[in-house]
Structure 1
């Protein structure tokens, strides 16, 4: 029996489009395969897992076999994808979306996920092929599929059930394709078993059953499929009208972004980035996930693979500030209310991240049956970093809530009381070492950026009292702020290096130091900051002037292997250049970074300059936040000329 795994997914990340219904997200490849979808939430177990394995780990392929994709785009200001296929004989338009319509008749926990795929032959004739493979629970649960009719409309369809999950497919009829037969075919061709239930290295893998179809189309023909997730104990749901769902979904996205002006490429990317932030937000709770994916590698073939489908206080806080800057105060308030609910209770229980609804337990596990994206293993679900102490987090929360106050949003009794509790938490942990913004898995340290954010937390408390008339122990907060300032200048700045350092007592620099001006500790054009930037340029820039987070070879993070340059850090450098008078350098770097976006304007966490590929979880909220802030900083630079 063969022991080698099937080839894992090699579709470049930039070839994927994001679909979103503001509860979950799907990744759709350029060639028409939905390779990742979790239902009904971003952090639910996946029903399509080919992103982290292969087709038999679940996917939905809809393609024109003898055609070529000549165009794809998002319909303006939406997450509806339109793909144009060209063949020798005709032209086909495929429209893909997650319906964003609210299902008001269903309780929140039972809300449905609807994937809609519409195919229209717009010219000549063409053949369309369909291959749907469902494997629930991250590829571990083979469904039972049978023909049924929906609840009240009696629409015929195929119902796939496993455990608590069900998917109901309606549309042109598909035929079951025997997984056993496909396994036998592979064994005959390859000389060994590659079936999920018989691979020695992944005993939990399940066998996918395929639903296939071949459709000959002529000009004017339209085919429509709808795949609806629902709780398996409920009846198969009635399908909704595809044209109405498309129209309503488009209107919802368009209305939200209607006030944003777009005049050039950078402003297009700002618009798409703001839309990404909304797309990665759970509409019901307000929790924003860092990315809709897990275990997309920071180093192809390596072990730095993490689950980002949770809400970090840091990310939520930066999002609040960005939304306020772009007149989305209502949206920012939604995020603030999530944040306040998540951290409510004993302030000593504050975590760095939570589940989408504020869940606290995010235990990390490894899925050994999945081969990993480009054989990057292990595949992880959950994130053990939730139990870390990171000293910067409360400072970022206080900066974000200060931005809301400055924008005219009044504090209520609950929100201000909670902020005072957060400052008490900072005070009680004043001498505690942490793991830093990058969630180092080595020993705890005094990270300079983290200490500066503690300074910022107390500084914003003082400002709330002095500038907004709120009540609090301003004398004590002022004293603690001043103490931290003196400490950072003594232990976090190296006179010989002429630079702030990553941690107290070492000589390394860290990209997070580029954020020191946001804390109020030091100005962007202060000589100490300029010296730090020079050191970062010397130690952390790659051959394309992209910024690494830190030198992994220094060994502080406690992890094997390396990682690529981080887009967020590179955008931070643009912001620093813009605010310190280096307008031309900022503009040049920004132009380069914009070129690393996918054709649909999406960014991953990292960029591999060597291969010219996006890497890490995708799309990444942090990267899109960084782009918006960098463009804002450049727009505020008097000598910056837009392209």
Structure 2
């Protein structure tokens, strides 16, 4: 039976993001990076594709929570004979890849079952597993190709291609296992001091989260969302992944299954904006430095996404040996959208960098020339059709949202010159910006309804149009925006939440359907708040926050019929738009 996405918890060390189910099974683990091959892939297959279960026999979860302001996960279990508690975490940003799991008997007696199945290469490889002695301790070591996994803790017995055991605990007794990744050619690293690692991990997260400024009725949801955005940021490179998973489907049994373990310029730029508003300037600067390295060079080589360290080659392929989450195939790794032209991306990046500049972060000798290069890319491709924000795999079009974002990119470049004294072709950018504005208002507005359209050559509604006033192109209460909102509400609302667009319109080139996209509904909250529709804004916000998992995590989409989260999880886009919506509500209330 497929485990609901909302039953998974995220663990985080700022390098990768394993998922542990409510039943105590780590069903997804990529080491040492977000985009490394998974060693536990049961999330997209079966337990035989790799998992690590630690759970009290006949146990029932009675409570599950993160220690406040951290990703230290605690789970309280009740069994017919006693109670137990697990503590699970990854030491944060210590340069290693360790996963710690401890279980303690609180009252009575419990039997703890352990089932460990190493399956590197996304379940396609069976490793060589043997006992070794390292640093004075006996360990279990699994090797497959370049990767090795070292398990320290109570001895597990082999049983075919798995290892396991049953351990009896009485009140006050505990068991601890630590799984460590290492290159297979290297000697096993020294063991960690678990108590010290737990304390330093708490200190790291508290130091980070205590600097975050949140207030108002949505403060708890905003705080957790900002923590998620930090957890999806690679500590060394500054790259921000869209999600730590691949191929969690937008429709159960469908083919809309994509790999999100990469750094989209758009998503990262929007994350930067959310962090800036809440006082995390240093993290925003870290991302800018990643951006400079990733896109350095000829502007014609600009991509919409990169690897965690700025890798350019992200070829898409399918893993046909996996049955997929909820029988949803194909399972994909890599992302073919990396080859797409998406005309909006430079605009989102320029908006974010302008806000960084306005926050008092000076440009350096590298950052402003890079922005000029990106705007050269815009001017060179000014007339080119694109695949749009939603990465349509059908024919390219002139998407109205993309054209507005091109306008916004040029507008921020012009402001950099006029307000900050930076050098650039002011007259050329001004002329092109103004021409784009006239073009959009002529070709991107429906002459009958008066609202913006998805593309210049259709009259479809598209929730991306809700971003138009966020750029300053028109006001939130501009008649064209109000007409657009009415069109979106009429055509894209499903059970009170918004779809991105009508998949039946044939624009995206992919079979099947999808569920409401949470980010779009958060944009609608912002639109409502900015135009005085406060009752509707608050009601929708309450509904959306209620869609989160019990641990406050959001996926990409939500099925209002089944009440289940869908799509990759947790999703940066959903969390950053939650933050924007909460900020808009707070501003409107003030």
Tell me the TM-score range normalised by the shorter chain: over 0.9
Q: Structure 1 residues 131, 264: closer, same or farther in 2, change over 3 A? A: farther
Aligned to 2:503, which of 546, 552, 575?
552
Question: Following TM superposition, by how much is the alpha carbon of 1:579 offset from its aligned partner in structure 2, in angstroms?
Answer: 1.0
Residue 90 of structure 1 is matched in structure 2 by 82
Contact 1:161 1:232 in 2 (8 A): yes
Residue 329 of structure 2 is matched in structure 1 by 377
Residue 260 of structure 1 is matched in structure 2 by 212
1:27-106 aligned at under 5 Å gives the runs 27-103=19-95
SS in 1 for 2:288: helix
Residue 309 of structure 1 is matched in structure 2 by 261
Residue 147 of structure 2 is matched in structure 1 by 165
1:133 is the counterpart of 2:114: no
Q: Distance in 2 between matches of 1:311 and 1:289?
A: 5
Question: Following TM superposition, by how much is the alpha carbon of 1:101 offset from its aligned partner in structure 2, in angstroms?
Answer: 4.8
Residue 634 of structure 1 is matched in structure 2 by 585
Q: Distance in 1 between matches of 2:308 and 2:423?
A: 32
Question: Following TM superposition, by how much is the alpha carbon of 1:262 offset from its aligned partner in structure 2, in angstroms?
Answer: 6.0
Q: Structure 1 residues 466, 262: closer, same or farther in 2, change over 3 A? A: closer
Aligned to 1:233, which of 179, 185, 201?
185
Contact 2:93 2:235 in 1 (8 A): no
| Greater displacement, 440-449 / 412-421 | 412-421
Cα deviation 1:16-52 (Å, max 9, x = unaligned): 0000110001000001000000011000000000000
1:342 is the counterpart of 2:294: yes
Cα deviation 1:456-490 (Å, max 9, x = unaligned): 01100111111111111111111100000000000
SS in 1 for 2:218: helix
Residue 402 of structure 1 is matched in structure 2 by 354
Question: Following TM superposition, by how much is the alpha carbon of 1:638 offset from its aligned partner in structure 2, in angstroms?
Answer: 3.0
SS in 1 for 2:105: strand
Question: Following TM superposition, by how much is the alpha carbon of 1:495 offset from its aligned partner in structure 2, in angstroms?
Answer: 2.1
Residue 108 of structure 2 is matched in structure 1 by 124
Aligned to 2:537, which of 576, 586, 596?
586
Aligned to 1:354, which of 306, 314, 332?
306
Contact 1:149 1:236 in 2 (8 A): no
Contact 2:445 2:451 in 1 (8 A): yes
- TM-score, with length taken from structure 2: 0.99
Question: Following TM superposition, by how much is the alpha carbon of 1:554 offset from its aligned partner in structure 2, in angstroms?
Answer: 0.4
Question: Following TM superposition, by how much is the alpha carbon of 1:261 offset from its aligned partner in structure 2, in angstroms?
Answer: 5.6
Question: Following TM superposition, by how much is the alpha carbon of 1:263 offset from its aligned partner in structure 2, in angstroms?
Answer: 6.2
Contact 2:216 2:586 in 1 (8 A): no
Q: Distance in 2 between matches of 1:222 and 1:265?
A: 39
- Structure 2 gap segments, 5+ residues each: none
Residue 567 of structure 1 is matched in structure 2 by 518
1:217 is the counterpart of 2:199: no
Q: Distance in 2 between matches of 1:361 and 1:329?
A: 30
Q: Distance in 2 between matches of 1:126 and 1:560?
A: 49
Contact 1:46 1:138 in 2 (8 A): yes
Question: Following TM superposition, by how much is the alpha carbon of 1:505 offset from its aligned partner in structure 2, in angstroms?
Answer: 2.1
Residue 203 of structure 1 is matched in structure 2 by none
Question: Following TM superposition, by how much is the alpha carbon of 1:114 offset from its aligned partner in structure 2, in angstroms?
Answer: 0.6
Q: Distance in 1 between matches of 2:233 and 2:507?
A: 33
Q: Distance in 2 between matches of 1:87 and 1:51?
A: 26
Question: Following TM superposition, by how much is the alpha carbon of 1:88 offset from its aligned partner in structure 2, in angstroms?
Answer: 2.4
Contact 1:297 1:376 in 2 (8 A): yes
- Structure 1 gap segments, 5+ residues each: 1-8, 104-111, 179-208
Q: Distance in 1 between matches of 2:262 and 2:515?
A: 22
SS in 1 for 2:143: strand
SS in 2 for 1:445: coil
Aligned to 2:156, which of 141, 166, 174?
174
Aligned to 2:221, which of 269, 279, 291?
269
Aligned to 2:429, which of 477, 480, 500?
477
Residue 524 of structure 1 is matched in structure 2 by 476
Contact 1:170 1:227 in 2 (8 A): yes
Contact 1:311 1:353 in 2 (8 A): yes
Q: Distance in 1 between matches of 2:289 and 2:249?
A: 32
RMSD after superposition: 1.0
Cα deviation 1:501-546 (Å, max 9, x = unaligned): 0000211010000000122211101111001000000000002x10
Contact 1:433 1:446 in 2 (8 A): yes
Say how many residue pairs are matched: 590
- TM-score, with length taken from structure 1: 0.91
Contact 2:452 2:465 in 1 (8 A): yes
Contact 2:129 2:142 in 1 (8 A): yes
Residue 128 of structure 2 is matched in structure 1 by 144
